[in-house]
């Protein structure tokens, strides 16, 4: 039988001092997601109704012949999901760098993880 020990204070501090900014940011986003009671993107399954929280990495307006779409990539430290609002050209507050929580049905389209027309809540800051 093997035992796993949690890393001590010194080990955790040393790891944070030697880690790059992206690793530290991902750890903080994962912790924020867990504290908010949200599922990590990496654990979400197709067809499930999920609530995720994270930071918007990019926001792109995609004009289409039939329905325009606004797409935003949400990163939570464990993975990314594309939030897609159909029929929207712009949503105030949806911009790169903003933190938000999104709720909706998790799907897969063209190899991407997607939530269509999610309900969302912008975080302060």
User: What per-residue confidence (pLDDT) applies to 34?
Assistant: 72
Whole-model pTM above 0.85? Answer: no
Residues 33 and 60: their CA atoms lie apart, in Å, by 24
pLDDT tens-digit readout, 43-102:
889 999 999 999 999 999 988 778 899 999 999 988 899 999 999 989 999 999 999 999
Residue 83's H or E segment, with its range, is strand 80-86
Domains of the chain: 9-122 (2.40.50.140)
């Amino acid at each position: 039988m093997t035992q796993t020990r949690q890393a001590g204070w010194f080990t955790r501090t040393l790891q944070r001092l030697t880690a790059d900014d992206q690793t530290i940011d991902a750890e903080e986003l994962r912790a924020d997601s867990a504290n908010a009671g949200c599922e990590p993107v990496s654990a979400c399954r197709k067809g499930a109704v999920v609530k995720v929280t994270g930071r918007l990495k990019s926001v792109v307006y995609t004009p289409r012949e039939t329905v325009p779409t606004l797409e935003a990539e949400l990163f939570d430290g464990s993975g990314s999901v594309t939030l897609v609002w159909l029929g929207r050209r712009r949503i105030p507050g949806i911009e790169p760098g903003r933190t938000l929580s999104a709720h909706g049905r998790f799907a897969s389209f063209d190899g991407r993880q997607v939530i269509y027309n999610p309900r969302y809540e912008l975080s302060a800051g």
